[in-house]
Chain A
Amino acid sequence: MVTQTEIIDGCKAGIEKYQARLYAMYSGKMFALCIYYSKNRSEAEDILHDGFIKVFQNISQLRDYSLLDFWIRKIFVNCALAKYRKQNLLHFELNLPETIIPLHYDDVIDQMSAQEISSLIQTLSPQYRIVFNLYAIEGYSHKEIADILHISESTSKSNLSRARVIMQEKIEKEHTFYRSNVALQK
């Protein structure tokens, strides 16, 4: 049984079999992350590729092996952000009014899968998607997001709010569709 320490040390030494093991351990989760950070599968594959190259190139910097999960995840998030920056897709709108749409969604939410949520996030435009992912999934504060994306905190807040509204509208649409289908079946 190969331990995580052995795998990391093997990767630090550049040994292919340990790199393959690390890839096997993380490729599924990281590809999922890449998907909800990108607009389509092809873009996600690019981020996955770049991310693992960065992981293998920089793993020698990792000292506390218990933080491997977080370290790898951080690299992939950074790769996704770098891709957006490179393509100049992050055009943030300033200070949109925050809107909260009340949503009755029990029937819909119970049936939503990770894949559906992931697809829903993918439909957001890049500036909303990034802020939503950083805040809701990665757990960053608005101040941290503002620092990372070089925007103001209020812009981060309004983009998050807008992202939620769009997602809620889509969930509600699904909900209505689901309701009407149930009614038809009856």
Chain B
Amino acid sequence: MKRIHEHSIDRLSRELLKDYSVEAPEGAFFAIKDDLNVQSKQRRKQYFMYIAASWLVLLSFGLGYWTRSIHSVDSVSLASNSHQQTKSYTNSHTHNSFLVAQSSVSKSSVRNTRTVDFSDNGSVLKEKESNSNNNSITTNGSSIAVNQPTKQPENINAKSDTLYNKVMSHNDSLKFLYKYIAFSSGESIIDTITNTSTKLVYNEPLLPIETSSKSSWSIGGGVAPMMGFDMFGAGQQNLTASRLKSGLVNDQPEPSLNKSITVSYATGISLKRSLGDNWNIRTGMNYNKITESNIDVSYVEIPLLTEYRLLNKALKIYFTNGFGAGLKQMEIYPLGMTGFSLLYPLNTSIDFNLEPSFKHVFGKDWTYKADYYGMMAGFSVKF
């Protein structure tokens, strides 16, 4: 009679169960096939929904940008543009003179100005129009109404652009505030907000502030070698497989295998939108290719990231954080991302980017759950 020792039960189990087989339940394969078909349809639907949602986000950004550029001067801000300030004076006691910006809806400049002289009772005395080269022309007739409430004239169905203008007295106190509304049909109205009689005034058109003409969008592209640790469930399978092949089990030392460290790469494009001085929001599309000895995976990744500026010198450093979705064969996997984005300007519109980042793929039952470390290098163009 022999005495059982510590590992006998293990060896017995391994030997007996190595080739143990039990007949699978009848009809199980057809249930699997049915489920596969259903899941495939659901994944396809989910995939297209996600693509549609991504495009909707991009479209919303685009629409927002377009709307902003159209109405960039429609601001309640009374800040003036010091670089493009224009002044004119009148000595008349009975005249108020206005220099109003007309059709000044472009992002960065006023192309034409119109000077209107009118009496205190609101009647227009003189109207003069000049272009940005200071060549004055005098126009006949007037479509300007004074002291009228803000109201779109009848029969004009067009978008309007509104400028708030202030009239300052000689001691720089606000004497007059009016709103000039230009319609794309060419007609315009002036709506007086405050009006006091004044002896000496000069007019200061409030042009779009400089920040409204800054490049707030940028598009970039890059490529990155990515390191993945414990990337695949099957990575550990390799370990076990080679152990079993070589007759090694449990705590015996592994001869030559590194623990599933892989090198692969990612490449893609990104679209970034500035949300003020320090914040950016960013999306894009990356293609990831992961290659291992027995595994070959590629997937598309759509990130949604926020960036916070940490350093604003010649070199700009942003802290990047966000989430994303990995799309692989109609399956969607959530991703968490964090890292830094270093921008070095090559000229006024092109930056060199270097982005060390960490990415975690969520989902415990995903065949390749992953922690990735990477360094994306590329360029971005502001527009």
A49 engages B294 (CB within 8 Å):
no
> Which residues from A are CB-within-8-Å of B4?
102-105, 168
B6 engages A100 (CB within 8 Å):
yes
**CB of B314 within 8 A of chain A?**
no
- A94 CB to nearest B CB, Å: 20
Q: Which of B1, B6, B297 is close to A164, meaning CB atoms less than 8 Å apart?
A: B6
Number of interface residues of A (CB under 8 A): 67
| A114-B20, A168-B9 given; A102·B3 CB < 8 A | yes
A64 engages B239 (CB within 8 Å):
no
| A57-B329, A114-B16, A140-B250 given; A27·B29 CB < 8 A | yes
- A146 CB to nearest B CB, Å: 12
A27 engages B28 (CB within 8 Å):
yes
Whole-angstrom CA separation of A148 from B274 in the bound complex:
42
Q: Which of B54-62, B189-197, B361-369 contacts A (4 or more CB under 8 A)?
A: B361-369
| A31-B22, A58-B367 given; A71·B251 CB < 8 A | no
**CB of A48 within 8 A of chain B?**
yes
User: Binding site of A, secondary structure by majority: helix, strand, loop or mixed?
Assistant: helix
| A28-B22, A117-B12 given; A141·B17 CB < 8 A | no
B24 engages A48 (CB within 8 Å):
yes
B240 engages A74 (CB within 8 Å):
yes
Whole-angstrom CA separation of A144 from B235 in the bound complex:
12
> Which residues from B are CB-within-8-Å of A130?
none
Which positions 23-49 of chain A face chain B at CB distance < 8 Å?
23, 27-32, 35-36, 45, 48-49
**CB of A13 within 8 A of chain B?**
no
**CB of A184 within 8 A of chain B?**
no
> Which residues from B are CB-within-8-Å of A29?
19-21
B24 engages A28 (CB within 8 Å):
yes
- B331 CB to nearest A CB, Å: 7
Q: B5's closest neighbor in chain A, by CB?
A: A100
**CB of B296 within 8 A of chain A?**
yes
Whole-angstrom CA separation of A12 from B135 in the bound complex:
74
Whole-angstrom CA separation of A11 from B377 in the bound complex:
38
**CB of A182 within 8 A of chain B?**
no
- A72 CB to nearest B CB, Å: 9
| A28-B22, A117-B16 given; A61·B250 CB < 8 A | no
> Which residues from A are CB-within-8-Å of B364?
82, 85
Whole-angstrom CA separation of A31 from B17 in the bound complex:
12
A138 engages B240 (CB within 8 Å):
yes
> Which residues from B are CB-within-8-Å of A75?
233-234, 367
| A60-B329, A106-B2, A167-B9 given; A114·B28 CB < 8 A | no
Interface centre among A45, A136, A140, A167 (most CB of B within 10 A): A136
Whole-angstrom CA separation of A71 from B296 in the bound complex:
13
B234 engages A74 (CB within 8 Å):
yes
Q: Which of A31, A61, A104, A118 is close to B24, meaning CB atoms less than 8 Å apart?
A: A31
Residues of A within 8 A of B (CB): 16, 19-20, 23, 27-32, 35-36, 45, 48-49, 52-54, 56-58, 60-64, 67, 70-71, 73-75, 78-79, 82, 85, 100, 102-106, 109, 112-115, 117-118, 121, 132, 135-144, 147-148, 164, 167-168, 171
Name 29 interchain pairs, CB-CB below 8 A, sorted by A. Answer: A23-B32, A31-B24, A48-B24, A48-B25, A49-B28, A49-B32, A49-B35, A53-B36, A53-B39, A63-B292, A63-B293, A63-B296, A70-B238, A70-B244, A71-B234, A73-B237, A75-B367, A78-B233, A102-B4, A104-B4, A105-B4, A109-B12, A114-B16, A117-B16, A136-B9, A136-B13, A136-B14, A139-B244, A144-B239
6 new A-B contacts, CB < 8 A, other than A57-B36, A113-B16, A136-B9, are A71-B294, A102-B4, A104-B4, A115-B20, A139-B249, A147-B230
Q: List 9 A-B pairs, minimum CB-CB distance, nearest first.
A: A64-B294, A28-B21, A74-B237, A136-B10, A70-B241, A27-B24, A114-B20, A82-B365, A139-B249
